[in-house]
Structure 1
Amino acid sequence: MPLAVLGLGSNIQRRHHLTRALDALATLADPAPLRLSPVYESPAVGFEDDRPFYNLVVAFETELSPTALNDRCKRIERDNGRPAGPTKFVARTLDIDLLLWGEAVGRHGDARLPREDILRYAFVLHPLADLLPSHAHPVDGRTFGALWAAFDAADQSRAQPHWPVDFRWKGRLVSRATDA
C-alpha cells in the first residue's frame, strides 16, 4: 500500500482541532498506526489574524486513492469548522494538506503531488524531515533529511522561525517522530 503523508496545521483552538484531526485520520489508517512528527509552533506571517500555528506531519499506509484521501481530509476540515471556499491567509481551525502519496507526481483531483509547500516552508519540511529523514522527494531526489539540512543552512534571509512544543495525543507525548 502507498504511504500517504499529510501536513496538519491549526491556529484556532490548536490542540483541540489537531487532536480531533488525528482521531479522524487514525480511523483511515486502521489497523496500522499513524506515524507522527513532532509538533512545531510558528508565527502566522502575512495572516489577518496573528495567532501562531501548530503544525505537524503524519504518515500512514492507505488503500484510498490520492483523490479520495484528499476529499476525506477536506471533509475532516469542514467537520472541524473550516469554512468552504478561499481561506488563504485567514485563521483556521484546521488545515490538512496531502503532501505525498507514494511516489505519485502530478495532479490528482484538487491535489498536486508532491505538494510544493514541502520545499517552500520550514513548518512543512522540518517535521517531514523529522518523520521520514531517509525518504526521497519524488521529484528532487534528495532525502527529506538532506533537503532540511540544505534549507536550514541556506539563505538566512528566508529563515522561518518555528520551535517544537509539547503535544499529547492519546496520552502520549509527541515530542519526536513516533508511531502512535
Structure 2
Amino acid sequence: MTQVIVGIGSHIDRERHIGACLDALSAEFGDLRISRVFESKRVGTQEGGNVYNLVVTFESQAPVGELKTWCKHTEQANGRTDQGPVPLDIDLLSVGDLVGCINGVTLPHADILRYAFVLKPLAELLPNECHPITGQRYAELWANFDLGEQQLWPVHFTWRGQVISQTD
C-alpha cells in the first residue's frame, strides 16, 4: 500500500461538495486522515467567493493513472466542467515517494510549495513527513513559508456528524 495525499478545494456550496468528496474517498479508499479545513481568498480572481481547502491522506495500491481518473470523475460528478465555476477541485499532491510526470500528473504537485492553503493543512496533518524533492519536513517548510498576500483561517467543519475542523 502507498500513501496518497490529495488536496481538496471548493468555493461553491462548499460544505456539500467537500462532504460528497469525503464520502466518495471513504467509499473508494477506506480510512482517511483529514486535515482541518481552511478558508482563503480565491487565487487569480475575487469572483465566486472564498474557497475551503483541506488535505486528505489514505492508503491505496491504485496506479497514478487510476487515481487521476478517479479524481476527475469525482469532480465531474460534483458539477465540474471544463469551463465555468469550480464546485470541487481534487489534486493529487503526492503518491508515495514518486517524483516526475507520471500519466500526465506531476508529482509531487508544485502547489505544495506555492500556496499556503495547501502547505498549512499538509504541515498540520503530516508534520514529520518529508517533501519528496526537497527532503524537508512539511512542518519545516511551513515554518519558513512566506505568506505574502496569502491569508487563510481555519473554519468549523463537520462531516458525518463529527467535527473535522474547528477554529482555533
| TM-score (norm. length: structure 1) | 0.88
CA shift for structure 1 position 93: 0.4
User: Are the equivalent residues in 2 in contact too, given 1:43–1:50 (CA < 8 A)?
Assistant: no
| Ranges of 4+ aligned residues in structure 1 off by more than 3 Å | none
SS of 2:117's partner is: helix
Question: Per-residue displacement from partner, 1:132-153 (whole Å, max 9, x unpaired)?
Answer: 00000000000000000000xx
How many residue pairs match? The answer is 166
Residue 89 of structure 2 corresponds to residue 95 of structure 1: yes
CA distance in 2, matches of 1:106, 1:16: 33
CA shift for structure 1 position 48: 5.9
Correspondence for 1:120:
114
Query: Which residue type is aligned with residue 14 of structure 1?
Result: R
Pick aligned residue for 1:77 from 70, 75, 89: 75
Correspondence for 1:136:
130
Identity among equivalent pairs (%)? 45
CA shift for structure 1 position 109: 1.4
Cα RMSD for the two superposed structures: 1.4
Higher strand fraction (1 or 2): 2
Correspondence for 2:60:
62
Query: Which residue type is aligned with residue 19 of structure 2?
Result: T
Consecutive unaligned residues in structure 2, runs of 5 or more:
none
| TM-score (norm. length: structure 2) | 0.94
CA distance in 1, matches of 2:107, 2:49: 29
